[in-house]
Amino acid sequence: MVLVIGGAGYIGSFTCHALAQRGHKVVVLDDLSSGHVEAIDARWLVRGDFGDRSVLRAVIRDHGVDAVMHFAAATGELQSTTDPAGYYRTNVIKTLELLATLQECGVPRFVFSSSGAVYGDARFPIAENGPLRPQSCYGRTKLAVENALEDYRVAHKMGYAVLRYFNAAGASPGGERGEDHRPETHLIPALLDVAMGRREAFVILGDDFETADGTAVRDYVHVEDIAQAHVLALEGLQPGQSICCNVGTGRGTSVRETISAVEQVTGLRIATRSGKRRSGDCAVRVADSNKIRGLLGWSPRYTDVVAIVQTAWAWHRSHPHGY
C-alpha cells in the first residue's frame, strides 16, 4: 500500500491515478487546504494533517502502508520570501515529524517531491551533481529535507528517492483533471485565465533577463510525465538505497515563447504588461534529465510546450471554475 501525502493536490492526484493504473493500492492523506477531493477517487482519502503523528500512525497501521510519497508542501518561491516561518514549519518541521513516524513504524521506502529550486541560478542544462545554491526560502526548505533524508538513510536504512522537477504544467488530455490553484500563480494557467476573460492582462515579471528575448526561460514538464517519474522511482527503489534525479525535458521555453504557444492553441491574443522581475528569479532553469532516463527508463511523452498547453486548454474549457 502506498500512502500519498498531499495526494489530492495537482501533482499528487495525477500520481495517485498513475499508481492505480500500475496496480498499486493507494491511500491519500490530505487536509484539503489546497487539494481537491474531486481530483481523486474519494475512497482513497483520509482527511488530516501530515504533521499529526497520531493520524499518521493510524493510517499506516490500518492500511498496511509500506511506502510513502510526499507531495504536501507550501509552494511558491516568491511567497516564501515573505513567510519563512510558515514555509519552514510546513516543509521542514512537519516533514521531520513524518520521517520520525515512518522510522518508528518501519516504513522502508520514501519518495520525495523536491524541486529544481534547490539549484538556484545555475548553468544549464542542470545536472544532479551541480552546485546546490537555492536562492529562495522555498528552495532552501526543499534542500533541508533532502539532507535529512540522506541522514535517515545512513542511520535507519530508509530508502529514499528525490525527484527534482522543473515547472509542472498541463492537464489530462481529455480535460478530466488539471491545475486548480487559488490564487493561480503558474504561468500557463495564468495566461489561459486571460484567454478565458478572467484576467485583463498577464504581467511579464521581468523582460531584462540575459536571454534571447529578455524573458525568463524554464523547462516545462507535463504533469503526467512527472507522475510517471514518481511511479518509476518507487518501483525502482530498494530499502537503504538513495535515488536523486532531475525530471525535465531538457528544453527551455521563454515566457514570450509560452505566450505565443497559448495564442497559437487558443486562437486568441493574450494581452500583456511589463513588470519588475521578482527577487531571486534566475534567467534560465533547464534540466539535464539523462540520469533518470538511464536509471529508471523514464522519458517525457510531452516535449513541446504547445502540446502541453493544448491539454491545459482542454481542462480550462471543460472546468472554467476549476473543480
Instruction: Please name the residues in contact with 316: beta carbons below 8 A apart, sequence gap of 6 or more.
Output: 178, 189, 192, 195, 196
Got the DSSP string for 19-51?
Answer: HHHTT--EEEEE--SS--GGGS-GGGEEES-TT
Active site residue 323: no
H-state helical runs in 28-165: 53-63, 77-80, 84-88, 94-105, 137-156
Residues 234, 245: Cα–Cα separation, whole Å: 12
Catalytic site residue from 138, 152, 165, 302:
138
Closest CA to 223 of 123, 301, 296: 301
Residue 235, helix vs strand vs coil: helix
Closest CA to 205 of 228, 187, 224: 187
The catalytic residue positions are: 138
